[in-house]
Amino acid sequence: MRVLVTGGAGFIGGNFVQYMVDKYPDYTVCNLDKLTYAGDLTKHQSIEAKENYSFVQADVADRESIMALFEKEQFDYVIHFAAESHVDRSIEDPEIFIKTNVQGTQVLLDASKTFGINKFVHVSTDEVYGELTFDCKTFFTEETPLQPNSPYSASKASSDMLVRAYHETYNLPVNITRCSNNYGPYHFPEKLIPLTISRVLNEEKVPVYGEGDNIRDWLHVYDHCTAIDLVMHEGRVGEVYNVGGHNERTNLEVVKTIINSLNKSEELIEFVKDRLGHDKRYAIDPTKLEKLGWKPKYNFDTGINQTIQWYIANKDWWKQIISGEYQKYFDHQY
Ligand code: NAD
Ligand code: DAU
């Protein structure tokens, strides 16, 4: 099988590329990535010499390059992760989110339709459903109406609609997965968990938006990879699958867990102005995926401790990131 993974130099795509290369030595895995600020290939040093792995630097919205690649490689599967992924950046400047997330997805769908594929898996997010209330009794199911609130989630919802339309109109074999917040190795330090770990390790203040009472539903990236593997091979064509492991935490709980685990002072917490349009709560009902056979390996307590240890052992990786362009972005935020 010939598998195209887009966004394989990023956090989740990067973990998925390594998972696939190791698990399926008979498959070829082509990692296509533009290498934006969020893309980094050093994470693939252990697999780059393997025969079943290759890398192509390209923009998913560049029709000519994408068409030429599909014609040459005749992919069986397209697993589409590439996206602008950070909500705060989308609030500041939505333009690139539309180009990459919407137009880029359309180009990949066109290429898949033109050259034929077994399956197009579109990796989407629970944020397309909007927000839930704090009552903790309701969950996002695959039937929940889409009500995206940020430019990021609106761009992802738009791409979901295009994927759906290419299935309905052209019979393209697709699945859409909608996952909750991921955490784990190689998570870019602009996101809450790696930002907190890296700043606490550096004895720096951790910015918590509003009162820190917003709730996210955390899933270890490994469990997201096993979910996509399952959907890619067993998912019913045309269906949507939610991915989540029932690990709801307030942001303040997450930050305090990390601080306490590192034996540092909670005085490092700094409450800052809230995110515009900040979604209150996300929580996934994963019943449909569980019925397909998926079971997560990590609960939050085990996963977060393993992740903290990973960040301690891999300081070179995140220090090289936060010392560059990223520092300017972070300083500009506050
Ligand atoms: P990320 O920002 O870490 O990585 C994105 C990758 O896409 C980077 O390697 C970047 O270089 C690449 N990319 C960006 N624009 C591109 C373009 N125009 N052409 C080619 N490559 C491009 O993101 P992530 O957190 O790994 O998220 C991956 C996917 O999973 C996204 O589609 C996101 O919406 C979705 N998702 C993320 C989460 C999460 O918690 N991080 C949860 C659910 C769904
Ligand atoms: O739910 C899935 C989504 O999770 C993905 O689709 C997105 O790509 C991914 O970025 C993530 O979005 P969030 O906005 O939920 O993640 P983030 O890590 O940016 O923020 C998590 C929560 O923490 C959110 O309520 C905002 C808050 N936060 C975030 C940062 C960066 C803070 O309080 N302080 C911070 O400095």
Instruction: Respond yes or no: is residue 53 known to be catalytic.
Output: no
191 contact partners, CB below 8 Å, separation of at least 6 = 86
Note the pLDDT of residue 3: 98
Catalytic site residue 326? Answer: no
Copy the structure tokens of residue 58: 């390209």
Which residue's structure tokens are 């930050």? 255
Of 216, 242, 272, 282, the one to substitute when testing ligand 2's pocket (max ligand atoms within 8 A of C-beta) is 216
244-287 confidence digits (pLDDT tens) = 999 999 999 999 999 999 999 999 999 999 999 999 999 999 99
Average pLDDT over residues 302-313: 98
ipTM: 0.99
Which among 84, 127, 131, 160 is annotated as catalytic? 127
Residue 102's pLDDT band (cuts 50, 70, 90) = very high
Q: In total, how many domains does the chain have?
A: 1
Residue 23 lies in a domain: yes
Mutate to test the pocket of ligand 1, among 11, 158, 224 (most ligand atoms within 8 A of CB): 11
pLDDT of 324 over the 80 cut: no
The answer to whether residue 118 sits within a structural domain is yes
Three-state secondary-structure class, residue 87: helix
The residues, ordered by sequence, that sit 6+ positions from 276 with a Cβ below 8 Å of its Cβ are 91
70 CB within 6 A, ligand 1: no
Q: Is residue 284 part of a domain?
A: no
- pLDDT tens track for 210-243: 999 999 999 999 999 999 999 999 999 999 999 9
- Ligand 2 close to Cβ of residue 251 (< 6 A): yes
Catalytic residue among 19, 152, 166, 183: 152
User: What does the alpha-carbon distance between residue 23 and residue 18 come to, in Å, rounded to a whole number?
Assistant: 8
- The CATH number of residue 125's host domain is 3.40.50.720
Question: Ligand 2 mean position to 193 CA, how many Å?
Answer: 9
CB atoms within 10 A of CB 195: 21
Phi, psi of 279 (to 5 degrees): -65, 135
d(CA 192, CA 53): 31
For 53, other C-beta atoms within 10 Å of its C-beta total 20
Across 1-21, average pLDDT? 98
137 alpha carbon – ligand 2 mean position (Å): 22
* Percent of the chain residues topping a pLDDT of 70: 100
Backbone φ and ψ for 331, nearest 5 degrees, come out as -60, -35
pLDDT for residue 181: 98
Per-residue pLDDT, averaged over 277-303, amounts to: 98
Between helices 221-234 and 11-23, what is the axis angle to 10°?
60
Ligand 2: which residue has its CA nearest to atom 14?
Answer: 87
CB 221 within 8 A of CB 182: yes
Q: Is the pLDDT of residue 334 over 80?
A: no
Q: What is the rounded CA–CA span in Å between residue 254 and residue 124?
A: 23
Does the residue 257 lie in any domain? no
Distance 39 CA to ligand 1 centre (A): 9
- Residue range 131-145: mean pLDDT, rounded: 94
126 is an active site residue: yes
Q: What is the pLDDT of residues 170-183, one digit of tens each?
A: 999 999 999 999 99
Q: List strand residue ranges (DSSP E) for the chain, in order.
A: 2-6, 28-33, 53-57, 77-80, 119-125, 174-179, 182-183, 206-209, 215-217, 219-220, 240-243, 248-250, 269-272
Is residue 285 situated within a structural domain? no
> Mean pLDDT of all residues in the chain?
97
User: What tens digit of pLDDT does each residue of 26-70 get?
Assistant: 999 999 999 999 999 999 999 999 999 999 999 999 999 999 999
Does residue 206 lie within any of the structural domains? no
Confirm or reject: Cβ of 87 under 6 Å from ligand 2: yes
Cα angle 233-10-108, degrees, rounded to a multiple of 5: 55
Inform me whether the pLDDT recorded for 333 exceeds 90.
Answer: no
- Check pocket membership of 179 for ligand 1, CB cut-off 6 A: yes
* Ligand 2 pocket check for 160: Cβ under 6 Å: no
Atom of ligand 2 nearest to the CA of 209: 33
Report yes or no: 322 and 189 within 8 Å, Cβ to Cβ.
yes
Residue 293 lies in a domain: no
Q: Is residue 18 part of a domain?
A: yes
Ligand 1: centre distance to CA 263 (Å): 32
Owning domain of residue 172: 2-183+219-243
Is it the case that residue 75 has pLDDT exceeding 80? yes
Q: Which of 4, 5, 12 to mutate to test the pocket of ligand 1 (most atoms within 8 A of CB)?
A: 12
